[in-house]
Amino acid sequence: MTLVRLEGFSRKFPRAATGRRPISSCACSTGTRASGCLTASRGWLLEQAERWDPDLLELFAQVARHKRCEVLGQTYFHSLAYLISRSEFTEQVEAHRRLIKDLLGAEPRVFENTELIYDNGVAELAERLGFKAVVTEGVERLLGWRSPNYVYRARGLGIKVLLRNYRLSDDVGFRFASRDWDQYPLTAGKYASWLAATPGQLVLVFIDYETIGEHYPRETGIFEFFEWLPKEVEARGLRFATPSEVIERYEPVGEIDAPEPVSWADLERDLSAWLGNSMQRLAFERESRLEALVKAVGDPKLLRMWRLLSISDHYYYMSTKGGGPGEVHSYFSPYPTPYHAFYAFISAIFDFEERVLEAAAPG
């Protein structure tokens, strides 16, 4: 099962030389050859597309309508809402569900929390919201000796858990064009052989959309890789499937117990990408503690501003990690340093807090 997340905006959605977007050739056309993909789009991204690039929005809708694609549920603002409060998390997920229905004509059945953040509480809320399965990282501390390539059930619940195979996903998402990698170059045939040799019920390949065209431009061969992959997979007796098809076909083989949050970010695969240093924690505390006051004021504009400040990217840019993870954080950040990111954010929070207090003042 191939899953491609649709994230970002202008730099992540360049047109190819032919005038087509990468997703039109990699998701739609390959979907006609017994393949499948799953897409996830932030609510505010769809808003921007509707306002600034209607053609892109229509392309998203085409992907969503494709019989071999399935749309995921998310938080509306790709936020840390789950870490703020259960009520805010629920409101954002419901808002995202309505937007997906209105703009894309789809009704998500499977849920992906922001950056695959997951614990037992996420599973409980997702089940209450009517989702049939949740996607998260196949990290060893959840699995122990077990494989990510099976359907599981959340501890004590009926909702199923699908786990990202991070090794096979990262072979495409991070190592595809690395000439230092001992498996370079990665061809569709070689990759399909790896998939065929992998035991289990399924292999969940989960990558960012920007892998196709931004991280790896056309000259790396990434487009040809995805164009040939369905043929190579079929030739080895495998088939792609959407998450709903997987959970309808397979019964869980065991339970996943996640007392502490996991994610797909950085080497730690926890919350440290967003809350790992004192700047991040201070910024998040200042933002999250305004929830009750903002909602009590009842001003829709202030509520929207507050929710925009909850977007996970703000905290991601403040990370001071080094090594490979630090390079990734820096690559995505528009700021020269994490300290510039913190200063910009905390200044915005102070200004916003003053506005909220003025609005809440009697008279």
Q: Would you please indicate which residues are annotated as catalytic (active-site) residues?
A: 115
* Phi, psi values for residue 335, rounded to 5°: -100, 150
C-alpha 247/C-alpha 241 separation (Å) is 10
Q: At residue 328, what is the residue type? A: V
Q: Is 19 left (phi over 0), alpha (psi -120 to 50) or beta?
A: left
For residues 32 and 62, is the Cβ–Cβ distance under 8 A?
no
Helix, coil or strand: residue 134:
strand
Alpha helices in the chain (DSSP H): 22-23, 43-52, 54-65, 81-84, 86-99, 120-128, 140-143, 166-173, 188-196, 222-235, 243-249, 272-275, 278-288, 291-297, 300-308, 312-316, 323-332, 338-360
Tokens describing residue 45 = 């991204």
CA distance 198 to 149: 8
Q: What pairing do the DSSP bridges indicate for beta strands 110-111 and 37-39?
A: unpaired
Contacts of 226 (CB under 8 A, 6+ apart): 25, 26, 30, 188, 212
Whether the Cβ atoms of residue 345 and residue 283 lie closer than 8 Å to each other = yes
Residue 162: helix, strand or coil by DSSP? Answer: strand
8 A C-beta contact, residue 280 and residue 319: yes
Phi then psi for residue 160, to 5 deg, are -90, 155
